[in-house]
Amino acid sequence: METKSKAGKDSDRAARVKRTERFAKMLLQVTNDLAQTNSLDEALETLVNITTSSIGAERGTIFLNDEATGELYSRVAQGNFRREIRILNTKGVAGWAFSHDQGVIIHDAYKDERFNKAVDVRTGFRTKSILCAPLRTVRGDKIGVSQILNKIDSQFSQDDLDLLEAMTEQAAIAIQGNIIVEQIEAARKQELEFLDVVSQVSSELELTPLLQKIISTISKMLDCERATLFINDEKTNELYTEVGEGLDEKSVIRFPNHMGIAGTVFSSAKPVNIPHAYADLRFNPGFDKQTGFFTRSMLCMPVLNKEGKTIGVSQVLNKRGGSFNSEDEKRLAAFTSQISMGIENAKLFADVQTQQNYSESILSSMHDAVITLDDEGIIKTCNLSGMRIFKVPILADVIGKTADGFFTGSNDWMAEKLKGVTEKDEYLDAELQVDGETLSVNVSIMPLLGEKKEVLGAMVMIEDISSEKRMKSTMSRYMDPELADQLMEAGDSDDFLGGKQSVGSVLFSDVRSFTTITEELGAQGTVKLLNEYFTIMVDCITDEGGMLDKFIGDAMMCIFGTPVPHDDDPDRAVRAAIRMMTDLKVYNDQRAAEGKLPIDHGMGINTDSIVSGNIGSPKRMDYTVIGDGVNLAARIESACKQYGAHILISEFTLRAVKATYRTRQVDYVIVKGKTEPVGVYEVLDYHDDESYPNLVDALGTFNDGHRCWNEGKWDQSTKLFKDVLKINPDDKAAQLYIDRCVHMKKNPPKGDWDGVWVMTTK
């Protein structure tokens, strides 16, 4: 027994020696390898490689603590880019180890309540076991966490944890040094950028380039998603901006300088730091809805000039990695104090330049010809329209000539009129001959008077109305006069009438159960009802810049995008449809008060390439649109009955809209006459709590059910659609999908299921 006891002691002693040697070897490797790294990223990667290979695990991660945000972050390299993964320093296994300053060994991750299973779901990696240790400096300061996953040959042991803690403590000095170097380098870089922009501000006199430089610098300096600099317009008392990080190049934002958070900052001249925008009553979510951007955090700072007067507001949104802190406030305040003088100088320069260019540009911008003469009858100025109307190739052919020398032949009456210029203006409806062509013109002849009412010369304004006369005569046969005026203003009416292919949004609407209504009303009552209904609906269309193409019985076909296009025609079509629903509700309330039956209708919208033009016979012509895009809109409208919907849009319209609407995909179908499937979506923004209670909850549940339908999970899909019916028993689309799931469960699809349903009717 004594021999065995001695042998056992010798064995334990040998194991301890071996363990000590292994630890010493690993720590020496850590020290040597980290000494060769040149950056924080290299040091972190080296430490992960050493700890993972030494302990024999599948993966490893080093999380560093961000004291400013209370988060743990790790860095992931993707090509030439680097992104950070951030978690709260109290959440998950890593957060527990950090906040409790204690190492942890977990043999079965999915049985531990601290483990966040969502990470595995996102990454596709299966976490089995976890070894986690705080990353401390020699002084015991926590700077992060080291985490190792899935020991390969066995389970993690206390020796593994001891080794991990020893290695991370050995590496902490190098890592902390790299962190400090990186922070110093970042601060130095920001300072250089700061000085560079300040120097540029002093030399830049044009406002727009100056603002672009300022915005770009603010975005980088504060590491935010968007930045905007609002300038106060003293003439209109509005804050405005034409440039902003993340804004469309053509975006111009204007609003009263007392509205919203920016207005509050401008009025009070005090900064505002909001960590959660939607929890602040001053925040206006309307901009988010229009742009599709989601604002999380916001920092607003007044821009003061040297007299202390507020001249604008700088606004930054969504600090990456958390909320804006006091250090961000100091940086933005220091920066805005330096740039205010440059902004005022640029504004002053812009005002002077505007005044200088005003007189020169006003003549060239006019559509009418403008010619001025001095008191001796010599032509001094002629704008571009004058050169165009008289077909003069170069300005030298006009300037310096006398009225007699320029207005010759059949146009000599003009020279005679100019000779008799008095203190009164003269207006003429006349004709001019130019290169054998007769022009119908409106002529205004006005004297140019000095301070003492002396005649200094004359000004002639000539409006060419030849094209307008011809086109109005032609278009009055078949087109609404208001539309004709729009086409005339566009200046390319011939192209529109002759045929043009463009992208447009087509809206079809149709009254439901109209036959039943007409049987009760009779002929006169039916006509009266339709006139009232169409009057309301057409206003909804025209107010959004759409065109009523035609009435088809109790249906309407409307166009957005031709003949006069807009940047947001798909949105205009959707907004018009939403308003058609809300205005119809008001009309039905009036009818109900009078004891009359309500009217119901459905609408379909599609955005696609269409052909527009003057179509028909010589005896009857109509300006209309044709094409597959039109046909698809009609088929989508007819599908409203099937889903119990009022507004359906195609996937093409959904992709084209710029604003955010409450929508749900009601189907992915092959419509009759087509071979390719089309996504169909229902727009629900017209609903209120009375017409659809708890809409947001039902919408989320319905979308989850539709995803299960696409994946062929009939039982799960049925359960979710039944949950929708619990929220709203009148949701016909949910009941339709329940019936479809029952059918598909009894008749499983052959081959791969893609969620496409083939419509058998138009």
Average pLDDT of 689-698?
88
Question: Can you tell me the distance from the alpha carbon of 574 to that of 653, in angstroms, rounded to the nearest whole number?
Answer: 9
For the chain, percent of residues with pLDDT exceeding 70? 77
Which range (288-302, 472-486, 617-631) has the least confidence?
472-486
Separation of first and last alpha carbons in the chain: 96
Give the residue with greater pLDDT, 59 vs 619: 59
- Looking at residue 410, the DSSP 8-state letter turns out to be G
Cβ 119 vs Cβ 97: under 8 Å: no
Tokens 């194991």 — which residue? 15
Between CA 119 and CA 123, with CA 120 as vertex, the angle to 5 degrees is 85
Give the residue with greater pLDDT, 720 vs 260: 720
Give the residue with greater pLDDT, 193 vs 260: 260
Average pLDDT of 562-587?
91
Give the residue with greater pLDDT, 28 vs 659: 659
Average pLDDT of 50-57?
81
Average pLDDT of 23-31?
62
Give the residue with greater pLDDT, 758 vs 600: 600
pLDDT-derived band at 480, boundaries 50, 70, 90? very low
Query: In the predicted model, is pLDDT for residue 681 greater than 90?
Result: yes
Question: Can you tell me the distance from the alpha carbon of 268 to that of 302, in angstroms, rounded to the nearest whole number?
Answer: 9
Query: In the predicted model, is pLDDT for residue 646 greater than 90?
Result: yes
Pairing mode of beta strands 647-650, 600-617: parallel
Query: In the predicted model, is pLDDT for residue 539 greater than 70?
Result: yes
Question: Can you tell me the distance from the alpha carbon of 398 to that of 404, in angstroms, rounded to the nearest whole number?
Answer: 12
Query: In the predicted model, is pLDDT for residue 247 greater than 60?
Result: no
pLDDT digits (tens, 9 = 90+) for 706-737: 899 888 888 999 999 899 999 999 889 889 89
Residue 354 to residues 360, 391, 403: CA-CA distances in angstroms? 10, 30, 32
- Max alpha carbon distance in the chain (Å)? 141
Question: Can you tell me the distance from the alpha carbon of 737 to that of 667, in angstroms, rounded to the nearest whole number?
Answer: 9
Question: Can you tell me the distance from the alpha carbon of 334 to that of 215, in angstroms, rounded to the nearest whole number?
Answer: 14
Query: In the predicted model, is pLDDT for residue 643 greater than 80?
Result: yes
> How much is the pLDDT for 215?
76
Question: Can you tell me the distance from the alpha carbon of 244 to that of 219, in angstroms, rounded to the nearest whole number?
Answer: 10
Query: In the predicted model, is pLDDT for residue 8 greater than 70?
Result: no
pLDDT digits (tens, 9 = 90+) for 322-339: 788 888 888 888 777 766
Question: Can you tell me the distance from the alpha carbon of 162 to that of 240, in angstroms, rounded to the nearest whole number?
Answer: 61
Question: Can you tell me the distance from the alpha carbon of 734 to that of 713, in angstroms, rounded to the nearest whole number?
Answer: 15
CA-CA-CA-CA dihedral for 606, 611, 614, 617, to nearest 10: -100
Tokens 């009939």 — which residue? 714
Give the residue with greater pLDDT, 594 vs 10: 594
> How much is the pLDDT for 98?
87
Which range (310-319, 344-353, 630-639) has the least confidence?
344-353
- Looking at residue 61, the DSSP 8-state letter turns out to be E
Q: Kind and range of the H or E element at 332?
A: helix 326-365
- Which residues of 499-656 form beta strands (DSSP E)? 500-512, 547-552, 555-560, 600-617, 620-626, 647-650
Q: Which amino acid is at 684?
A: L
Query: In the predicted model, is pLDDT for residue 497 greater than 70?
Result: no
Query: In the predicted model, is pLDDT for residue 474 greater than 50?
Result: no
Q: Which amino acid is at 19?
A: R
Q: Cα-flanking dihedrals φ and ψ of residue 143, to 5°?
A: -120, 0
Query: In the predicted model, is pLDDT for residue 541 greater than 70?
Result: yes
Task: Kindly list the structural domains of the chain, giving each domain's residue range(s) and its CATH number in brackets, ordered by start.
Answer: 12-184 (3.30.450.40), 204-360 (3.30.450.40), 366-464 (3.30.450.20), 501-613+620-686 (3.30.70.1230), 694-755 (no CATH)
What is the secondary structure of 26-58 as a DSSP string?
Answer: HHHHHHHHHHT--SHHHHHHHHHHHHHHHHTEE
Tokens encoding 353: 């330049």
> How much is the pLDDT for 575?
95
Query: In the predicted model, is pLDDT for residue 478 greater than 50?
Result: no
> How much is the pLDDT for 168?
76
pLDDT-derived band at 479, boundaries 50, 70, 90? very low
Cβ 376 vs Cβ 456: under 8 Å: no
Query: In the predicted model, is pLDDT for residue 472 greater than 60?
Result: no
Which range (90-94, 208-212, 439-443, 444-448) has the least confidence?
208-212
Question: Can you tell me the distance from the alpha carbon of 270 to that of 416, in angstroms, rounded to the nearest whole number?
Answer: 68
Coil vs helix vs strand at 550: strand
Tokens encoding 460: 């002639």
Tokens 């319905």 — which residue? 702
Question: Can you tell me the distance from the alpha carbon of 318 to that of 193, in angstroms, rounded to the nearest whole number?
Answer: 21
Question: Can you tell me the distance from the alpha carbon of 459 to that of 294, in angstroms, rounded to the nearest whole number?
Answer: 56
> How much is the pLDDT for 1?
45
Question: Can you tell me the distance from the alpha carbon of 243 to that of 252, in angstroms, rounded to the nearest whole number?
Answer: 8
Tokens 């033009």 — which residue? 613
Which range (74-83, 101-110, 168-177, 649-658) has the least confidence?
74-83
Question: Can you tell me the distance from the alpha carbon of 672 to that of 172, in angstroms, rounded to the nearest whole number?
Answer: 68
> How much is the pLDDT for 488?
58
Residue among 239, 283, 277 at smallest CA distance from 261: 283
- Looking at residue 748, the DSSP 8-state letter turns out to be P
> How much is the pLDDT for 508?
93
- Which residues of 162-256 form beta strands (DSSP E)? 224-233, 238-241, 244-245, 253-256
Query: In the predicted model, is pLDDT for residue 530 greater than 70?
Result: yes
Q: Is the pTM of this model over 0.75?
A: no
pLDDT digits (tens, 9 = 90+) for 112-149: 888 888 777 777 788 888 889 888 877 777 888 888 88
> How much is the pLDDT for 235?
87
Pairing mode of beta strands 663-670, 757-758: parallel
Query: In the predicted model, is pLDDT for residue 265 greater than 80?
Result: yes
Question: Can you tell me the distance from the alpha carbon of 55 to that of 257, in angstroms, rounded to the nearest whole number?
Answer: 62
C-alpha 491: how far from chain center? 31
Residue ranges of the alpha helices (H) in 550-602?
569-593
Coil vs helix vs strand at 177: helix
> How much is the pLDDT for 574?
95
Question: Can you tell me the distance from the alpha carbon of 483 to that of 469, in angstroms, rounded to the nearest whole number?
Answer: 15
Cβ 643 vs Cβ 733: under 8 Å: yes
Average pLDDT of 345-370?
70
Tokens encoding 753: 């299921």
For the chain, percent of residues with pLDDT exceeding 90? 14
Please state, rounded to an integer, the average pLDDT across all residues of the chain: 80
What is the secondary structure of 130-143 as a DSSP string?
Answer: EEEEEEE-TT--EE
Cβ 567 vs Cβ 582: under 8 Å: no
Query: In the predicted model, is pLDDT for residue 387 greater than 50?
Result: yes
Query: In the predicted model, is pLDDT for residue 561 greater than 90?
Result: no
Which segment, 449-453, 459-463, 514-518, 624-628, is predicted with the most confidence on average?
459-463
Which segment, 57-71, 326-340, 345-359, 598-612, is predicted with the most confidence on average?
598-612
> How much is the pLDDT for 475?
45
Cβ 159 vs Cβ 19: under 8 Å: yes
Tokens 């809409």 — which residue? 695
Question: Can you tell me the distance from the alpha carbon of 645 to that of 237, in angstroms, rounded to the nearest whole number?
Answer: 44
